[in-house]
Amino acid sequence: MGKVNVRICSGGRCFMQGGSDLLDYEEFLDDGIARECEFETCNCLGECKKDALSRMEPPIVSVNGKLFGEMSPQKLYRAINDELAARS
Amino acid sequence: MLEQNNQYNILNRRIDTEVIRAFFNGTLTEDIDKIPYRIFPKDSARVNKCCIFKERAMVRYRIMELLGINIERYDFEFLPIKSHLEFVLHEDVDDFPVLTTVQLACYGCPPEQYRITDGCRGCAARPCTTNCPKDAIVFINNRGYIIEDKCIKCGKCFSVCPYHAVIHLPVPCEQACPVGAVRKNEHGHAEVDHDKCISCGKCIHSCPFGAIAERSSLFTILKMLKRGEKTVAMIAPAIEGQFPGTLSQIKAALLKVGFTQVFEVAKGAEMTSVNEASELDEKKNEGLGFMTTSCCPAYTQLVEKHLKFLKPIISTALSPMGYAARACKEMFPDHKTVFIGPCLAKRVEGINDPNVDCVMNFNDLSSIFMALDVEVGEMERADLGDSSSFRDCRGFCFSGGVAECVLNRVENRERMRIMKVNGLDKKSIAIMRTWEKKPPEADLVEVMCCEGGCIQGPSSITKPSLAMKFRGKD
């Protein structure tokens, strides 16, 4: 079974608008869940710089390719759990 | 204390970014009164307050804080923000007080109280009554009540109730202020007594409504950058880890936004430690008692205003910013000096120091980076120069780091006794008060106003645990 791929944007806006807390994932995720994921940080995905209608608000995280805006530790935990549930 | 990246701070950075972007595009004068509507358009789903109109009014006040307006004095509701802006664009505002309160935002929390909720079961043991030192608890219909007039808010009932039926309703700003400078005015709104205030910034980060704020001096700096003036950015040691990149990338990003030179304040910290070390050796050799560090400006204001007997005990060394600014004025005489740090009290120190032209905090800098789309993590590394002599001084931003740097420079470190005051609050200040009669058993006392050190300063962006991962990567 493949791991859940979590890409946390560490572009300027994401990092400074709360994304820095997400990079600290070891603090708020269970070891068991964190082990099932592979974490990456990435440069700006460009989603926050689109025009007003299609723009996503930072911080942005991609979980198995699905993009989430305004990510919080709680939302990240839920998104990973959903992926784990869909996998089994 | 609220966490750094709460909803309110994130919204503020969004507003700041909009304002700064419009400023650099040259459209701010016509756009500034539209920004509240852009942040909260009519179909906005983000309204947290009672209504969208109050949200917009708060955006207006946020912009005024950013412009550096003294809102208590100049809150003319009938004026558009534009007329405030025209004044600020015309003149540089940087004066006292550095804090301002927004009456409209203040909830007017009722006075601090303990209250027994309906979780009370009227038990037989009644530990609340037994432990109350003032007989302030009565039972009516088998349920406890606290008589307000008698209660001294000691909290004993709160901690002994087995059902957790007693709740504590604090006033966050009053509770956070270590020197009792925040009080209610006759309308029940928070007011800062500037004669007592030591500018630690703890009230700003305790109020969940954002009623107390810093009057930014950002516009003075923005104008310099836009005019292309020669400016030197003096970066505090705490900056490393606050932005998604290494120290050399942060330097490169600063050069990109328009600063012409970047100077590490850690170099000034080296001077501070050298001077403090020689002073400490002298005091120890002559048996003159203990000495405290001088680098924390909130602490020096505390001594100035509340603990005058410590005045001769503080080291006479300048703060790292003081030495750095002096060096910058010598090296780059035609440059304006801008200190960039996490600290509010440094604003006060900066206004009083003729070598420091401006002080900016990390929140302001992050908004500039966002407004100009500067990606710190994608910058080419800039050359930091030779930093071998002051590398350890980059640790000045940690509790214990200053003492360590001083110890590295004394004659004999083994004989020095060190004491750390890690965070100023009501309790630690009460202990410091006793030093007048009974000096502490130490030779060097390091005082940090913020718990953990400057790395947890009032305008830091990242948590220290994460900042550590980004530090020392050059």
pLDDT, one tens digit per residue, over B247-263 is: 999 999 999 999 999 99
Band (pLDDT 50/70/90 cuts) for residue B412 is confident
The whole-number average pLDDT for the span B92-107 is 88
Please give the interface size between A and B, counted as residue pairs whose CB atoms are below 8 Å apart: 55
Shortest Cα distance from A68 to chain B (angstroms)? 17
Band (pLDDT 50/70/90 cuts) for residue B72 is confident
Q: Are strands A37-42 and B113-116 parallel, antiparallel or unpaired?
A: unpaired
pLDDT for B258: 95
Is some CB atom of chain A closer than 8 A to the CB atom of B325?
Answer: no
Residues B94, B68 contacting (CB under 8 angstroms): yes
Judging contacts by C-beta atoms under 8 Å, the chain A residues touching residue B5 are 17-18, 20-21
pLDDT for B92: 85
pLDDT, one tens digit per residue, over B118-148 is: 999 999 999 999 999 999 999 999 999 999 9
Total number of residues shown for chain A = 88
Surface of B (331-370) touching A: CB under 8 A: 366, 369-370
Is the four-CA dihedral B341, B345, B348, B354 of positive or negative sign? negative
Band (pLDDT 50/70/90 cuts) for residue B52 is very high
Shortest Cα distance from A33 to chain B (angstroms)? 20
Count of CA atoms in the C-beta half-sphere (13 A) of B400: 1
Give the one of A11, A12, A24 whose C-beta lies nearest to B466's C-beta: A24
Cα distances (Å, whole numbers) of residue B391 to B39, B59, B248, B394, B465: 43, 42, 14, 6, 20
pLDDT at residue B79 greater than cutoff 80: yes
User: How does the average pLDDT of chain A come out, rounded?
Assistant: 90
pLDDT, one tens digit per residue, over B280-309 is: 999 999 999 999 999 999 999 999 999 999
Judging contacts by C-beta atoms under 8 Å, the chain A residues touching residue B463 are 20-21, 24
pTM: 0.93
Give the one of B5, B244, B465 whose C-beta lies nearest to A12's C-beta: B244
Which of B8, B362, B461, B468 to mutate to test binding with chain A, by most A CBs within 10 Å of its CB?
B461
Residues 6+ apart with CB under 8 A from B117: B165, B166, B167
More confident residue, B186 or A53: B186
Count of CA atoms in the C-beta half-sphere (13 A) of B437: 4
pLDDT at residue B470 greater than cutoff 80: yes
Band (pLDDT 50/70/90 cuts) for residue B455 is very high
Q: Tell me how far the alpha carbon of residue B70 is from its chain's centroid.
A: 18
Judging contacts by C-beta atoms under 8 Å, the chain A residues touching residue B373 are 12, 49
pLDDT for B172: 95
Whether B375 and A44 lie within 8 Å, measured CB to CB = yes
Whether B462 and A18 lie within 8 Å, measured CB to CB = no
Cα distances (Å, whole numbers) of residue B355 to B33, B198, B312, B319, B350: 36, 22, 24, 12, 8
Band (pLDDT 50/70/90 cuts) for residue B49 is confident
CA distance B408 to B422: 20
Band (pLDDT 50/70/90 cuts) for residue B1 is confident
pLDDT at residue A50 greater than cutoff 90: no
Band (pLDDT 50/70/90 cuts) for residue B50 is confident
Whether B5 and A44 lie within 8 Å, measured CB to CB = no
Which of these, B20, B54, B134, B14, lies nearest to A48 by C-alpha position? B14
Q: Tell me how far the alpha carbon of residue A81 is from its chain's centroid.
A: 12
